[in-house]
Amino acid sequence: KHGPDRKKKVPLNKDNLLLRGCTIRNTDFIEGMVVYGGHETKAMLNNRSPRYKRSKLERRINRDVIYCVVLLLLMCFLSAIMSAVWLGAFEDSTIVPFIPFESEEWYNPYFQGFVVFFTYIILFQTVIPLALYVSIELVKLGQVFFINYDLDLYYEKCDKRMECRALNITEDLGQIDYIFSDKTGTLTENEMEFKSCTIWGTDYPHAPEFDENIDDSETDSRYSIGTNISKSSSTMENLKIEPGLFREVMTMSLRSLTNVEVTVDSSGGRSTNYNEMEYQKSQKIQDFFLLMAICNTVVVTTHAHEDLMDESGIVHLSPEEEKQEKRLSKLNGKRNGNGNNPHLPPINNISSKVPVDSLKKPIHPPKLTDSWSFANGGSGGRDSPLRTPSEGSLAGSVYSDMAKIRFEAESPDELALVRAAATYGCCLKKRSHGKVTVHLPGEGAEVEFDLLHILSFDSTRKRMSVIVKHPMTKEIILLTKGADSQVLSVLDKKYKEIEPYKKVLEETEKHIYNYAVQGLRTLVLAKRILHKKEYKRWKKKFLEAEAAMQDREQKIMDVACDIEKDFELLGATGIEDKLQDGVPETIKKLRDAGINVWVLTGDKQETAIEIAHSSQLFDEDQLMIKLNANDKEETEAFLDHELGEIEKDKKQPRPSSARRRMGSTKSLRGVTQKMEYALVVDGKTLAFCLEKSLEKKFLRLTQMCKSVVCCRATPIQKGLVVKLVMDNLKKLSLAI
């Protein structure tokens, strides 16, 4: 508790905990309390030796050795008994052949049987194959050597070879029956590229273009936002800017971002004012890019953070920063004595000098590599509407700092969206506690929004939201992005009742489906204006949930769901995550080897199916079975029906049924061959399939399918699927 009256509760959670060994970025200093946990700290708990894994061969050998030990003891025991019986047959110890006794005391059959037992252990100890362990270890060393120095496993891009860190389970690689793989970062490169977007029912594709006439030196000299935002990525270099969007975003200002309601006639027909509907579309476009810029946790820097603080608390610049500051000061001195360029107008007056009507003139669609060069004299010509009076360097005055910006994001999806927004001029400039600064092209300057709350993404809600306050109107705005199934279901009811809004929703859903069919990752963007009384009531509940000592995460999620409703639809995005090199060939070889490959992903069903086809997990001649159910009874009915159909197809192939389920027009000769099946299960149906009463039927169905894809699956569901197969089928599995 803190505050003047000591009544305000400040919740502490895992986000406030700095564990030993952590690296802090973009932080000059911290204030905290050191807590000693002794051997219960994470560093100490992780310092234990790793769990020893035994391969199937090692377990088999250990079991056989136990049998050998039992056999050895049995042989020695029988030999000792037979020796005692044999000695007992002699009445005089002096006539016992081959065994001279020193005295009569040694001649005791029971004592001699006990001694002979250990004698036979020495004689028969070769039954235990001790040399086998040595031989196997030598073979494993040779196997690891060949794995490490296999040229086919060398990765040239990173100059790294294969590194085998497990000596004891290498032989299991050839015994795997099931492979469970995630999609993002495993099959794909995890480098997101903004490809398309739909705003207010209008599709805006962003196809890449390559200009062979532009050489590297010319490209490097231009103001290219995409190539300078991050040195580590060039995925946005060839994005084609859509001219209609570009014109709308360039007029974005605080005044244009104010909320406008569209009047609709009582019959629920068209808008009473066409201009109002068009104005609302323009506003949706600007809200769309604003949401892309600020609805995230991206941190903005101008360099790799290397601030140095001395003992007195003064932060010193790094040597590279000092050199850069000196270089900039020299350049400014050459421009003008006071460091200012007399030919350029002040930044806050740029928007007033650019007539809005001139922005509506048709312009040649620029590419990202020269998206700002037209303002710098590169391709815009003298008549470009964005040229300033003398040098015409709008990029030099307003966008010069953008070339230095680096975005550091936890998620590559967020990074792709922020870069796309920056490409159109709506650039995230700064993020701090409770504040977020964005450059608005229509303002010609940076605008600061109050960041009230961040409702983080979780696998249950499948969406992320931020609550901000409009600097001019003081409106409280809720911005959200997430999976289409979770955002479209909480839209305002007018999208189901009023015709213009119904059409917008239908067009958006159609575009989302097209993006998914192309294999793009889709996100839906929406906003809502909160009434102050409603926000005040919700904030009280949210603070109570944050301060809860028990079930805090669940309570926060419930409170977030209470406010995330009645949204205004803005649009959706399509982001491409390319397959890694060699993925289709690898999956095909694994399937040819008889290995069952399952892909467990959280993506949309159409996206998962397209990726399955492109990675050759699905073949064109396979029959695809889709399990999409709303309740347990429907799921069970689906399972029973598909199991029955497959059994019928095995006994007597039915071409008509096959063609109906495939949706193809192949000849009967090709269809009547042995069928292969591919199974697709969505997350909702998977939850029912994992219940005790249905898991056996689900496993039976999966065993009849060559390939399985589980889409919209949560991390918990992925783990349960792997556990289900391993516990019930007793197969060696590899989960990636």
Question: Which residues form the catalytic set?
Answer: 182
Please state, in angstroms and as integers, the Cα–Cα distance from residue 453 to each residue in 178, 297, 434, 464, 476, following that order. Answer: 44, 12, 8, 11, 11
The beta-carbon contacts of 642-645 under 8 Å, at least 24 apart in sequence, are 642/701, 643/697, 643/700, 643/701, 643/704
> Which burial class, exposed, middle or buried, applies to 615 when counting CB atoms under 10 A from its CB (0-12, 13-18, 19+)?
buried
Q: CA-CA distance, 421 to 441, in Å (whole number)?
A: 11
Nearest-CA neighbor of 597 among 626, 628, 579, 619? Answer: 619
Instruction: Show the tokens assigned to 221.
Output: 């000299």
Please state, in angstroms and as integers, the Cα–Cα distance from residue 377 to each residue in 57, 215, 385, 388, 587, following that order. Answer: 70, 17, 12, 10, 50
In the three-class reduction of DSSP (H, G, I as helix; E, B as strand; rest coil), residue 128 is classed as coil
CA torsion 68→71→77→78, rounded to 10°?
Answer: -150
Instruction: Show the tokens assigned to 348.
Output: 């806050």
Please state, in angstroms and as integers, the Cα–Cα distance from residue 132 to each residue in 72, 137, 139, 261, following that order. Answer: 17, 9, 10, 82
* Residues facing 710 on adjacent strands: 600, 681
- For every residue of 330-357, DSSP letters joined together read HHHHHH-TTS--TTSPPGGGHHHHS-HH
Q: CA-CA distance, 141 to 604, in Å (whole number)?
A: 44
Please report which residue ranges of 367-483 form alpha helices under DSSP H: 394-397, 412-423
* Residues facing 193 on adjacent strands: 576
In the three-class reduction of DSSP (H, G, I as helix; E, B as strand; rest coil), residue 489 is classed as helix
Amino acid at 537: R
Residue 629 near residue 655 (C-beta atoms within 8 A): no
> Which burial class, exposed, middle or buried, applies to 305 when counting CB atoms under 10 A from its CB (0-12, 13-18, 19+)?
middle
Q: Can you tell me which residue has the tokens 């050459």?
A: 334
Nearest-CA neighbor of 233 among 224, 245, 242? Answer: 224
Q: Can you tell me which residue has the tokens 């009811």?
A: 493
What single DSSP character describes residue 186? T
In the three-class reduction of DSSP (H, G, I as helix; E, B as strand; rest coil), residue 14 is classed as helix
Torsions phi, psi for 498 (to 5 deg): -100, 135
Q: CA-CA distance, 289 to 428, in Å (whole number)?
A: 11
Residue 597 near residue 314 (C-beta atoms within 8 A): no
Count Cα atoms within 13 angstroms, Cβ side, for 341.
17
Q: CA-CA distance, 102 to 108, in Å (whole number)?
A: 12
- For every residue of 248-261, DSSP letters joined together read HHHT--TTTTS--P
Instruction: Show the tokens assigned to 626.
Output: 């889709």
Q: CA-CA distance, 125 to 72, in Å (whole number)?
A: 7
Give kind and range of the element (H or E) at residue 707.
strand 707-711
